[in-house]
Structure 1
């Protein structure tokens, strides 16, 4: 009991130092406990984010069947056998639908659907929600097929008559009244996320003119089943509830999902499971976190132990006199050891629960600050065992810290002889340095897997190596400066070199400071680079603040809708995308509106001025577009050198939106001047001039030639400005067949076409309202035989290949990533219309918008006839990237660097406080011998500069240099690595250096105050 009282009194008398021991032990235990706690919380976070990425219905379970009897019972029975799967699914949504051909004035096709709750997710603009044997149709259907509220609509099943039995009477198809008209609400509502609804846009129809209409909703299942000879399909959709997917349930969940997936269908019920892929991806991220977090946290734990070792050594050394008295009184080595380490061991025991609580608190703080919503901290045996291990490590550090003082003889204790470094310490340092160099070598030249494993450990090894070298360098410099200062009579330099060189504690503090500064600088550098890469990746993956994937039939439909919603051109932009296969890979083709690109798009790696230059370079315009309309076309032309066996004729090529080009016959060629005429019929949207042609007689492969000078073009008696006298406005079709030649010239008389041909193919001169080669921005290798080609042909939006020219080669393009072609979409649509037409089957239509765009833009697009299928958000993507496995590991690194610096500065201040009394005694003794106060102040300043300056320089160099070495081995954005840019992106490094400067200035002021200057 008396020993405990003495220990408690000692703690009270040295309260400040005791508090620091508790603080260091608490931080060490908390850092260790963070490994299992943060690893599990981070793994749960990436699991939640990964399974929440797809729409809930897509990620969940969908059961479909044409056998409707007892379908729900079959599905429920199956889910009872997989209780973990059932526990993560939400309430089911039933749907039953049948394909019908409404028998009305115009041919149409749609689906009659019963889906409980549909009326709550639609806007009823007229009438009411339907009941049994009643219909509700969309406002678009009213306009398209001329059916109205109150009309009776007969609903024969699609193909029903072809399924009648021979000799059986024809079915009596039911008729149902239209009692309601709805408008599509928010198509991105999770209620509609099966993506199979609302296909009745303005231009959506079959080749025979049958119009596709939106769903016809009814109020009961029996109404759908009443369609004779129908083929109804029932589905039950179980949306995933991401928050219910817990990390501990994943093994059993995977087993049950694999069992469901292997069965695929049960008793004619087909299952579609979207969760399996998400769980596999989440498991890869969890593995990355599990590998990274311990490697990141371990250096902090070791640093805490070492600082604790220094603190206990300094505190024990300050008790030299007490320990000497104990030895004089005959205490045994065990008794002296208990007396010396009793205080720190009691303080460490007190710190154990505090460290556990701090680790839990920090993990909770991280969960609330940047982990996925709903992530809680799970405290289990791993955390307790790791905390116990950290406690034992702290005890060992304390015992080792007191060991040298306890084993010193009485004379050394009373004379305060500085400890000397032993050869064993040099051997340990050499071993550590060798291991660090070996690990760095393996990192730089090892395999990809080895580099990834060592990527997070390497910074600590570099920092440790830098700390050891800096400490040794400081001692060497101090010893070399001492005789030089003696020779030159520089007293402040002599005293400073003597103070630094004779105390091994100075070298240890320098090593700790260097390691801490290197870790902080590395963490700030790599976090800065990773932040820039997350921004870069989000810009490449999303492309704008908001992206709406819409359901449309052709590009001009989307463009016209966007122009009506945003006439300013500053808020939204229509985009057409195609994923084109090439050489066992895919190339993203992105056609956007270059006039709106600067205001709307987010470009990776480019400033606003650079984006404006890109938009300018993508301008595909050449001669002015010649717009045409229905009317009589007249062409005044002079024909010379006419050679023909069968009559050749003159034609004009025109194009119109959504259709391939067509030729207008203007009459047979005849020598001399004449007027050629033909009737042109255009759609309401109008036509445009694509070219003029010399038409060969069908099947005539005999040689023929003619020189035709086009003097004027008129439409309905009005002259057309077709740039007939403008050089370069007209060009031959490329490439010309080997059997044809065409020379084009212009002068004041008009456009002259000198043609020859030995085949039945028509000879076409193109009007150059677009450039000969389409300008494109290329990311990645060119989709051509030569990956470095600057000009090549490749199908963009049309069915035929387009000649393209690369105007800019970039690493990434918005929404296209690292292998894409980006171009002027409207111009490319025009190009497709002059060749084989648009390849609409492969197109995806999107609307990109800024944050300033209306919040109800999705509803406005639906009202324009292009319902939204999916919405993607740039800010949400940035949040997701900030919660991916690499970012979570790097956040811990940044935290470790800050804590390491604070611990090192605390150790420095504590050492100054412990040594302050006897240093003041030394200063007073030197003053008595005649040393001026100015020299003593110079000594203190030089010493502080050496102890603080060397670590600053070495730590920053080691941190930045280590980042340069390690960056290629560390995934900055995703666990797959991918395209990464190694450049700073913000203020993190500069901010950390500013924080370091403030901390060092503060530490210097504290040192001067604690030591009392030269007084």
Structure 2
């Protein structure tokens, strides 16, 4: 019997090879999914490590010691640190041996002495090998005891240079919480400025997580004073922070030992707790490992979404092709049954040919699947490496078993069918009760899976994971059952109209029992490829939105803390024409957790610079609404200001008012609120020198602070506001005296007086400690553009974190960088409303593609230090290295394999049909059928089937995507609050459908031509 089966295989070797190839593809699909998961897990890890921030690639262990209370028990650690003159014993105890790490030692404490501002202290830092990571601008690097290095901005601001001598002493913050001064904590020491430096890469891994280059109001410009270990140690000081920065090397961050790294970090934290040392461990590596885990979890959801339909499609293909083959062998099987052969002989002769072919293909598929994924991984993940081993082959027996089971199920009729049934020329149609029950079950499962997906809010677990696969299969079956009767009707009508060729082709499709299953298979094939296209294109468009709208512009520079007015002036000096740069700062968070975040932008450059959503109002229109026309603000040209005021109705000591003025520098130095003095019941001139007004200032407001505890009824006349320097012009009296040029609250009535502007205070002024009048150039309510609906209270936090009244100017679909629930205001107008803005919240400079290559130097020349440089194309590349993007590579592979499965099924079905169709058409040719209609019937039967299947398959893919695509974590499990696209572009889906149509049509035409050649030239099949 075995030899007979092999003779059958040799006789029908074309069908056997095709069936073996289908078995190969089936097992290849099953092996490819786990193999791809292993590869993509490694690629996710490698990609996240390559794009990680410096603080995520290492750890820092630090301890604070007071050298004045150190005891003899603090024995020095015999390490390189001791040789440098420092003791890192406590830190080294906490840092157990972590393989693959290298360490940099550092120590620091605060010093004062060179900055005249008592609120500014400097970091006095020793860092191992620091000179190798600095650019020395003037002088030399550290060479002897007593040498120090100053940052370039610090040296310029304090007018110091290399070779100067300075005096420093250690410092501690003032214990008075109301004062932000630094107090001496050691003896002064004379030191030599050996040179000045610039940090070329402040974010380099060498600097670890130390905030050396972050400026704050209390610590100055963010440039440490670097010195040698012996200089730092011998200077009189108290508290000192000793630290070891560990940098992880390739061995520590190898993708195969990330689990061990997490365990080592957990053990390190436990060790420090057990030892009982006051050692602080700071690391971002845990966040990196968590991000890798999240990315890998996304791949484990996205890969099976198409792996499952691909495997089902492979089994369905085998089932269909085996069934087709057995229909062509029914006469042989009928003879075997008629001879009374035993059941196992009958079973072996029926199944052996298909089982051997599928088994041979399955064995090859085990190897091909792994090698295919290895090749794809080497191309798609060139830096991710290809994992060694064949662990994915553990799924091969299951896939092979499913393929063999499909063979057995396809032959059930031949096992149990009667001899009469096997001898029938026309087998039973596809309307049997078992067929209808199976299709009804598929539809029911599709409904259950889709409902479960909705009820679980998109959780791809349980039946929900199979929802796309079952839905595409059910829709394919329904399409086949609905469409083929229509084809039959169309064929009958064509026959009545004399279109014989078209009629014969249609009847061949409609009345072949296997044609419905073949059509359903082709629809499912196209649907899998279409669904893969939907996922890949939607995710790619989403990454583009994240990279552009999520970043805000082509390039975003985050600078050290600066006042909004300073940032605005600096950016306008960098780009005076507004072609490529825009100043941006975040509005401080309000007291309510429900308050939407806000962005303050220089709206005059919004249209030129910002990334903007395609729907909703355009950036130019929004900018016009955010910045309505207002009068020019009043200005005075000096550092010295004089205000002429007369007052009456004041009771000294109980009902006094103190005069204040809020100003902003015209050159962007900053703003200030100046106290001029207490008003008297007479005319007086109040003078003050304002440091920020060297180049002139604008007036943001004139204020009156209540000095008593009782309500005030008084009258004040502002008679003049001028610069005290003779050659400087004063504010025109007409502008000052015009009540329409000022805004005031209900506590004050404004009127024009013969000698100036009259202010009459009502009793209600006692309810507020401050009363301000502001120029008409200051909006009473700031216009805002809102995304996410109208604000509940029409109030947002201003630049000083105080409430600011708003007026809703425009509604947006999204605010760049912030998301779908946020507000936008004009930065200059917000600064005018704010009396003392303070430091900006996350000040940034947004740039478009036209920004010059030397933009960083231009920013530095304005006294701003860039601490982060984010480009939208870099963000997009980083997103493409994350789990969702990498996992979708399998969808491309699945789509290609699905098309190959459909093509193979088409070839085998045509090969089986060739004999029957050849006999029919030869008989019709003998009876006088013209060559033209016969050729049409032979050539275009399967191409027509393919064309209809491609159209329906794309529709099935679109429906399946609408029902289930929203649940796919294409942007990860925690997508950003941005309007990510939810459907693919037709310009992408239709070309992919055209390619699939071209491939399948080419296969169908080739089979038709072969049949036509046999019939037309030989006259027999």
Please give the TM-score of this superposition, normalised by the length of structure 1. Answer: 0.84
- Is it true that 1:460 corresponds to 2:475 in the alignment? no
1:91 aligns to what?
A: 102
The 1-side partners of 2:140 and 2:719 are apart by: 67
> C-alpha displacement at 1:542, in angstroms?
1.8
Pair 11,856 (structure 1): closer, same or farther in 2 beyond 3 Å: farther
Contact residue 104 and residue 154 of structure 1 kept, 8 A: no
Change (3 A) 1:365 1:571: farther
Per the alignment, residue 749 of structure 2 pairs with 742
**Secondary structure in 2 matching 1:379:** coil
Task: Supply the distance in 1 between the matched residues of 2:789 and 2:251 (Cα, whole angstroms).
Answer: 42
Q: 2:816 aligns to what?
A: 814
Aligned counterpart, 2:837: 838
Give the aligned partner of residue 684 of structure 1.
694
Pick closer, same or farther for the CA change 1:829–1:410 going to 2, 3 Å: same
Distance 1:707 1:181 in 2: 54
1:307 paired with 2:305, answer no
Mean alpha-carbon deviation: is it higher for 47-56 or for 429-438?
A: 47-56
Q: 1:616 to 1:998 in 2, by over 3 A?
A: farther
Instruction: Sort the Cα spacing of 1:853 and 1:700 in 2 relative to 1 into closer, same or farther, 3 A.
Output: same
Q: Equivalent of 1:198, from 195, 203, 213?
A: 213
Residue of structure 1 equivalent to 2:921: 923
**Post-superposition offset of 1:98:** 2.5
> Aligned runs of 1:879-918 on 2, under 5 Å?
879-918=877-916
Q: Secondary structure at the match of 1:147?
A: coil
The answer (yes or no) to whether the contact 2:699–2:775 under 8 Å persists in 1 is yes
Equivalences for residues 723-738 of structure 1 within 5 A: 724=735, 730-733=741-744, 736-737=745-746
Q: Which residue of 2 aligns with 1:994?
A: 994
1:508-532 deviation digits (Å, cap 9, x = unpaired):
1111012122222333234333332
Q: Does the aligned pair in 1 maintain the 2:151–2:198 contact within 8 Å?
A: yes
Aligned 8 A contact 2:294 2:972 in 1: no
- Equivalent of 1:135 in 140, 148, 157: 148
Contact 1:433 1:465 (8 Å CA) reproduced: yes
2:166 aligned to which of 137, 140, 153? 153
1:767-826 deviation per Cα after TM superposition (whole angstroms, max 9, x unaligned): 1224322222223355x5x2xx6xx22222124322222323334322212332222223
CA distance in 1, matches of 2:713, 2:369: 90
Q: 2:134 aligned with 1:122, yes or no?
A: yes
Q: Distance in 1 between matches of 2:971 and 2:734?
A: 53
Answer yes or no: is 1:627 the counterpart of 2:635: yes
Q: Are 2:61 and 2:279, in contact at CA under 8 Å, matched by a contact in 1?
A: yes
Residues in 2 aligned to 1:898 and 1:723: alpha-carbon distance in whole angstroms:
80
Q: CA deviation at 1:895?
A: 3.3
Partner Cα distance (2:173, 2:548) in 1: 50
Determine if contact 1:916/1:1012 at 8 Å carries over to the other structure: no
* SS of equivalent to 1:976: coil
Deviation at 1:665, TM superposition (A): 8.0
- Does the 8 Å CA contact 2:938/2:1012 hold for their aligned counterparts? no
| 8 Å CA contact retained: 2:778, 2:833 | yes
**Which residues in structure 2 correspond to 1:557-636 (within 5 Å)?**
557-584=566-593, 587-605=596-614, 610-619=618-627, 621-630=629-638
Q: Identify if the C-alpha distance between structure 1 residues 356 and 775 changes in structure 2 by more than 3 Å, giving closer, same or farther.
A: farther
Q: Give the Å deviation of 1:123.
A: 0.9
Q: CA deviation at 1:214?
A: 2.7
The whole-number CA distance in structure 2 between the counterparts of 1:906 and 1:581 is: 64
User: Helix, strand or coil: the match of 2:929?
Assistant: coil
Report the Cα offset of residue 93 of structure 1: 1.4
CA offsets per residue over residues 422-464 of structure 1, 9 Å max, x none?
Answer: 43333222222222222223233x2326566655532222211
Shift of 1:504: 1.3
Is the contact made by 1:418 and 1:502 (CA closer than 8 Å) also made in structure 2? no
Cα 1:901–1:237 change in 2 (3 A) is same
Change over 3 Å in CA distance of 1:310–1:822 after alignment to 2: same
Q: CA deviation digits over 1:453-476, x for unaligned, max 9?
A: 655532222211111112222444
* Residue 825 (structure 1) aligns with: 827
| Partner in structure 2 of residue 166 of structure 1 | none
Question: Contact 1:712/1:750 (CA < 8 Å) preserved in 2?
Answer: no
Bigger shift: residues 522-531 or 471-480? 471-480
Q: CA deviation at 1:881?
A: 2.7
Contact 2:939 2:1012 in 1 (8 A): no
Please tell me whether residue 550 in structure 1 is matched to residue 559 in structure 2: yes
Contact 1:654 1:664 in 2 (8 A): no
- In the alignment, the residues of structure 1 paired with residue 976 and residue 220 of structure 2 have an alpha-carbon distance, to the nearest angstrom, of 45
| Residue in 1 that maps onto 2:508 | 499
Match of 1:1009 in 2: 1009
Q: Secondary structure at the match of 2:314?
A: helix
Q: CA deviation at 1:306?
A: 1.6
Any unmatched runs of 5+ in structure 1? 163-169
In the superposition, the TM-score normalised over structure 2's length comes to 0.83
SS in structure 2 of the partner of residue 541 of structure 1: coil
Distance 2:1003 2:798 in 1: 64
Query: Contact 1:474 / 1:950 at 8 angstroms: preserved in 2?
Result: no
Which of the residues 869, 872, 882 maps onto 1:871? 869
Alignment CA distance shift 1:517-1:689 (3 Å): same
- The CA distance in 1 between the partners of 2:650 and 2:595, in whole Å, is 49
Partner of 2:157: 144
Q: Is the 8 A contact 1:666 1:676 kept in 2?
A: no
Which piece of structure 1 moves more, 793-802 or 417-426? 417-426
Residues 1:768 and 2:776 are matched in the alignment:
yes
Alignment check: 8 A CA contact 1:472 1:507 kept: yes
Contact 1:885 1:975 in 2 (8 A): no
- Paired with 1:870 and 1:370, the residues of 2 have a C-alpha distance of 29
- Residues 263-297 of structure 1: per-residue CA shift (max 9 Å, x gap): 55543432223323333343344334334423420
Alignment partners' CA distance in 2, 1:397 and 1:900: 17
- State the alpha-carbon separation in 1 of the partners of residues 227 and 722 from structure 2: 61
Give the superposition deviation at 1:120.
Answer: 1.5
Correspondence list, 1:607-756, <5 A: 610-619=618-627, 621-630=629-638, 644=649, 653-657=661-665, 658-662=670-674, 679=687, 681-682=689-690, 683-691=693-701, 701-704=711-714, 718=729, 720=731, 724=735, 730-733=741-744, 736-737=745-746, 740-742=747-749, 755-756=760-761
Give, in angstroms, the shift of residue 328 of structure 1: 7.9
Paired residue for 1:780?
Answer: 788
| Cα deviation 1:463-497 (Å, max 9, x = unaligned) | 11111112222444456667777888875576445
Alignment match of 1:215 (pick from 204, 217, 224): 224
Cα distance, 1:547 vs structure 2: 2.5
Name the stretch that deviates more: 847-856 or 894-903.
Answer: 847-856
Shift of 1:252: 4.2
User: In structure 1, how many angstroms separate the alpha carbons of the residues matched to 2:326 and 2:708?
Assistant: 108
- Give matches, 1:233-632, under 5 Å: 233-241=241-249, 244-245=252-253, 249-265=257-273, 266=275, 267-319=277-329, 333-335=343-345, 337-371=347-381, 373-381=383-391, 383-402=392-411, 404=413, 416-418=425-427, 420-421=429-430, 422-444=432-454, 446-448=455-457, 450=459, 456-477=465-486, 495-496=504-505, 498-584=507-593, 587-605=596-614, 610-619=618-627, 621-630=629-638
Contact persistence 2:787–2:820 (CA under 8 A): yes
Deviation for aligned residue 1:32? 0.7
Is contact 1:634-1:676 (8 Å) kept? no
Partner SS for 2:802: coil
Contact 2:564/2:837 (8 A) holds in 1: no
Q: How many residues align?
A: 968
611-620 vs 66-75, which moves further = 66-75
The answer (yes or no) to whether the contact 2:609–2:847 under 8 Å persists in 1 is: yes
SS in 1 for 2:598: strand
Secondary structure of the residue aligned to 1:448 is coil
Distance 2:781 2:37 in 1: 54
In the TM superposition, what is the alpha-carbon distance from 1:237 to its structure 2 partner? 0.9
User: How far 1:854 sits from its partner (Å)?
Assistant: 4.8
* Whole-angstrom CA distance in 2 between matches of 1:364 and 1:931: 54
Stretches of structure 2 that go unaligned for 5 or more consecutive residues are 66-73, 78-86, 176-184, 1017-1021
Equivalent-residue separation in structure 1 for 2:658 and 2:266 (angstroms)? 67
User: Cα distance 1:823–1:634, how it changes in 2: closer, same or farther (>3 A)?
Assistant: same
